[in-house]
Amino acid sequence: MARSLDPQGQAGAPPLVSLRGIVKRFGELTANDGVDLDIRAGEIHALLGENGAGKSTLVKILFGLLQPNEGEIRWQGRPITLSSPEDAGRLGIGMVFQHFSLFDNLTVAENIAVALPRSESRRSVARRIGEVGQRYGLALEPERPVWTLSAGERQRIEIVRALLREPKLLILDEPTSVLTPQEADTLFLTLEKLASTGCGLLYITHRLEEVKRLCTGATVMRAGKVVAACDPRVESVRRLASLMVGSEVTEVRAAPAHQLGPVRFELRQLSLAPEDVHGVPLRGVDLAVRGGEIVGVAGVAGNGQAELFAAMSGERLAEGPDAVVIDGRPVGREDIDARRRRQAAFVPEERNGHAAAPNLTLSENVVLSRHATGGVAKGGLIDSRAAAAVAAEVIRVFDVRKGRADPPAGTLSGGNLQKFVVGREILREPGVLVVNQPTWGVDAGAAATIRQALVDLAARGAAVVVISQDLDEIFAIADRIAVIHDGRLSATHPAREIDREKIGLLMAGSAEEHPHAA
Amino acid sequence: MRLELVPRGDVSPWARALAPVAAVVAAILIGGLVVALMGRSPLAAFQVYFVDTLSEDWGLQEMAVKATPLLIIAVGLSFCFRASLWNIGAEGQFIIGALVGGILPLYTAGTEAGAWVIPAAMVLGALGGLAYAMIPALLRVAFGVSEILTSLMLVYVADLTLDYLVRGPWKDPKGFNFPQTVNFDATLPYLAEGGRLHAGVLVGPALALLAWFVISRTLFGFGVRVAGEAPKAARFAGFSANRMVIAAFAISGAAAGLAGIVEVLGQIGQLKPGISSGYGFTAITVAFLGRLHPLGMIFGALVVALTVIGGESAQIALKLPLDLTRAFQGVLLMCVLAADALVSYRVRLVTVARA
């Protein structure tokens, strides 16, 4: 891929920004330990690392949200202090956050105007949105209310908002996590165009394929330190991954050949109105999962995944008993505990606050999802010794790393807590398991453990549904794949027979297909 | 320039345990300063407020009697507050409990009815408070009405209902037109001859122990904690949010109603306006002083009772206004909350150089 400004070509000029020996401590934890980082003008620089490696801390320092305890920041060779995001903005540092900060009920133009100086007229804002949109291929309708937009469009607002302030350095935090493959391709073109104008880009991600494709420099962090600075175009994905996790990454072992059993989990024309105005209704969802197989549900975030999970798990009841069937029993009107007693288990997307209560200990969090199925509670009383034993078993089998003996769930790192909440369900040996985003924001090592456990569970005869935005994950473990778009679920396709492009089209809702056709 | 709260990470249990003690000391120092500014001797005030009450038998007994309704109400409220439900109408539930519980002793006064009247009245009082608390609970469950507004407004309804009854149908015919009922025959016995301690004093600690068991050992108590902590996790656990609202309000309403009838049967012996003197509101302070922990609330109730008694003495001995006592209770609560925050967080002054 040709670029007009190659970082190697201007080695003489000082880097756009350079961090030297950055140290940031939170109490006893050293989140950044002597970090060096250089970003040159016109460069797309990847910042790689597992969760908890210190990437977010470093970025917050660079954006003025945190102040380092030690170290120096140089901007075009001059030492500077960044004491607030306004300081960073004045120098020309912009940021696109992973989680959008948009007002749902305001229009695109209004959302962008709030970030600009008040003196600028609404008309001039709208005009500039058009200009920037045209220059970088970021089409937006200024008068559309934000809640009507897809995640990709929302992200465009964030990017346009940053671009209108004419940044010299743009930081992007996991920008593709909410995009379809096609939307991601469009984003890459925009970013390349932007780099060619001399803007430096810091690209934070854990998707190594993207890094290889897009970035011209990479800094890899592990446990608060920089472990490598390299050219991702010449490194293999496997090598980048092993730099990140500190050991060779194990890929998911295919399950030993096994016979598929009867259908254990079924949705029949499941429809459900949304709980609030911005929710997505489920529209006639059909799905049948046999024992021994994993069905992956792909889709762009916000297309009904949360609603589908709530309806599958019984957190919300279906309108009729036949809409959800477990092992031949209609359970649509049974609540989540009743479904658990029928050997079903569930892992919601949000670790902290949904799958686990952050201020309760791990053993108390065992009671959370296990109290109905026996062992940890009897006659309304909690058996804390039994709960502690289950917690210890989960911790041992799933290698959950933690500080104290029975710490509050919220003190665990993302990956370790996720291993815990998945392990808590899998050790019950459920007949049906529904998991929403099993490895979202989880480090590569934990993700591998979780995926392997899902594959092994299916091999032992369970019906497993994995709802995921991560196509790599779905292709790695699913036997069949369906796509959810706007509350409708496509027919399933054998994973071997469908390619990314087809899935991408389904995710964008552009392929006309009747669920019963395939 | 701005202030930032930075989490401290792991906090030793000792620091947590000592925080309320430090808070009480800080509140006393602030109170002393205010007394000094009012031109009285802080040492004399300290003597009257705390030392006199605590060093004399009658003072200690009075403290236990005053702490009783506060503790009973606070223990009930802690279920609501732990579940992030804001029942601030315990005052109304207290009054209705006293009214409903008072029916039996009122109509059996002057008859040969036996001792059964007392337990029956206590059960009725609890049921009355429970029923009254169901109004905000059901409104919230059915229509999503804020329980803060409804429970508070119902306090005035209860207050005026009591006023109406003791001035109208329930007025003592031989009471020289005072707004009060006849004196009840059925009253709680004293624990010791000639003392102030009535049998109702035992109810508070007993309920606190029961609440401690329910919160820490039962699945229901677990549900209460999860509901306040992480509502989505509670739903994931299969605990119905609506059932939780009903249950928490039922418990706190019943406790407040029980406190009302215990106060009437143990202390006052009849119904009249002003039977509460704000116990239902002061109990909110007690609940948070005790950090919603049943055993902590025993401590909280005693401390608040101490300030009330000390305040009355100070009014007489030093001519200090009663409002000072209320202000002191406020200062105390602020100090406790601040101490809790400072144990978990460090305050950092961020100076930002602006161009």
- What number of residues does chain B have? 355
End-to-end CA distance of chain A: 39
Query: Which of these, A406, A399, A414, A409, lies nearest to A368 by C-alpha position?
Result: A409
Nearest-Cα residue of chain A relative to residue B346: A27
End-to-end CA distance of chain B: 13
Do A353 and B233 make contact, defined as CB atoms within 8 angstroms?
yes
What residue ranges do the domains of chain B occupy?
Answer: 68-291
Q: Contacts of residue B226 in chain A, CB cutoff 8 Å?
A: 357, 360, 368
Residue A364, min C-alpha distance to chain B (Å): 8
Q: Contacts of residue A336 in chain B, CB cutoff 8 Å?
A: 235-236, 238
pLDDT-derived band of residue B75, with 50, 70 and 90 as boundaries?
very high
Residue A252, min C-alpha distance to chain B (Å): 29
Nearest-Cα residue of chain B relative to residue A312: B236
pLDDT tens column, A351-395: 989 999 999 999 999 999 999 998 899 889 999 999 999 999 999
Over residues B13-39, mean pLDDT:
88
Q: Contacts of residue A376 in chain B, CB cutoff 8 Å?
A: none
d(CA A302, CA B67): 53
| Residue recorded with tokens 């949360």 | A306
Q: What is the mean pLDDT of each run of 10 residues along chain A (518 residues)?
A: 43 83 81 91 89 82 90 92 87 84 87 82 85 81 83 83 88 81 84 91 84 90 87 84 67 74 95 82 95 92 89 94 96 96 95 92 95 90 94 93 84 87 96 93 83 95 92 89 92 88 77 46
Per-residue model confidence (pLDDT) at position A6 = 44
Residue B282, min C-alpha distance to chain A (Å): 28
The β-bridge partners of A344 are A432
Q: Contacts of residue A348 in chain B, CB cutoff 8 Å?
A: 232, 236
Per-residue model confidence (pLDDT) at position A9 = 43
Do A382 and B219 make contact, defined as CB atoms within 8 angstroms?
yes
Per the CB < 8 A criterion, the answer to whether B255 and B73 are in contact is: yes
pLDDT tens column, A424-467: 999 999 999 999 999 887 777 888 899 999 999 999 999 999 99
* Contact A330/B at CB under 8 A: no
| A275, A368, A420, best to mutate vs chain B, most B CBs in 10 Å | A368
Per-residue model confidence (pLDDT) at position A239 = 81
pLDDT tens column, A155-199: 888 888 888 888 999 999 888 777 777 888 888 988 999 899 999
Per-residue model confidence (pLDDT) at position B323 = 87
Structure token pair of residue A204: 């934070």
Do B222 and A364 make contact, defined as CB atoms within 8 angstroms?
yes
Per-residue model confidence (pLDDT) at position A211 = 87
Residue A167, min C-alpha distance to chain B (Å): 20
d(CA A110, CA B100): 58
H helices within A284-404, ranges in order?
Answer: 305-313, 336-341, 362-370, 384-397
Nearest to A357 among B8, B10, B230 (CB): B230
d(CA B95, CA A206): 62
Per-residue model confidence (pLDDT) at position B344 = 82
Residue A135: enclosing H or E segment and its boundaries? Answer: helix A122-136
d(CA A51, CA A389): 28
Give a three-class secondary structure readout of chain B.
Answer: CEEEEEECCCCCHHHHHHHHHHHHHHHHHHHHHHHHHCCCCHHHHHHHHHHHHHHCHHHHHHHHHHHHHHHHHHHHHHHHHHCCCCCCCHHHHHHHHHHHHHHHHHHHCCCCCCCCHHHHHHHHHHHHHHHHHHHHHHHHHHHCCCHHHHHHHHHHHHHHHHHHHHHCCCCCCCCCCCCCCCCCCCCCCECCCCCCCEHHHHHHHHHHHHHHHHHHHEHHHHHHHHHHHCHHHHHHCCCCHHHHHHHHHHHHHHHHHHHHHHHHHHHHCCCCCCCCCCHHHHHHHHHHHCCCCHHHHHHHHHHHHHHHHHHHHHHHHHCCCHHHHHHHHHHHHHHHHHHHHHHHEEEEEECCCCC
Do B236 and A360 make contact, defined as CB atoms within 8 angstroms?
no
- Cβ contacts of residue B55 below 8 Å, gap of 6+? none
pLDDT-derived band of residue B88, with 50, 70 and 90 as boundaries?
very high
Residue B7 pLDDT more than 80?
Answer: no
Structure token pair of residue A187: 């984003």
Residue A409: enclosing H or E segment and its boundaries? Answer: none
Q: Domains in chain A, ordered, with CATH?
A: 263-507 (3.40.50.300)
| Residue type for position A357 | A
d(CA A22, CA B100): 69
Do A371 and B219 make contact, defined as CB atoms within 8 angstroms?
yes
Residue B354 pLDDT more than 60?
Answer: no
Backbone angles phi, psi at A327, to 5 degrees: 50, 45
Per-residue model confidence (pLDDT) at position A25 = 85
d(CA B124, CA B108): 14
Do B222 and A313 make contact, defined as CB atoms within 8 angstroms?
no
Q: Contacts of residue A350 in chain B, CB cutoff 8 Å?
A: 232
Nearest-Cα residue of chain A relative to residue B220: A380
Binding-face residues of A in 13-52 toward B, CB within 8 A: 26-29
Per-residue model confidence (pLDDT) at position A515 = 46
Q: Contacts of residue A380 in chain B, CB cutoff 8 Å?
A: 218-220
d(CA A455, CA B51): 70
State what percent of residues in chain B have pLDDT above 90. 58
Structure token pair of residue A218: 């990479």
The β-bridge partners of A464 are A294, A433
Q: Contacts of residue B220 in chain A, CB cutoff 8 Å?
A: 380
CA A184, A185, A186, A189 torsion: positive or negative? positive
| B16, B84, B222, best to mutate vs chain A, most A CBs in 10 Å | B222
Do B226 and A368 make contact, defined as CB atoms within 8 angstroms?
yes
| Residue recorded with tokens 């925050």 | B341
Binding-face residues of A in 303-322 toward B, CB within 8 A: 313, 315
Residue B322 pLDDT more than 70?
Answer: yes
Residues of B at the A interface, defined by Cβ within 8 angstroms: 6-10, 217-220, 222, 225-226, 229-230, 232-238, 240, 350, 352-353
pLDDT-derived band of residue B109, with 50, 70 and 90 as boundaries?
confident
Binding-face residues of A in 339-368 toward B, CB within 8 A: 340, 346, 348, 350, 353-360, 364, 367-368
Q: Contacts of residue B238 in chain A, CB cutoff 8 Å?
A: 335-337, 340, 371-372
Do B237 and A371 make contact, defined as CB atoms within 8 angstroms?
yes
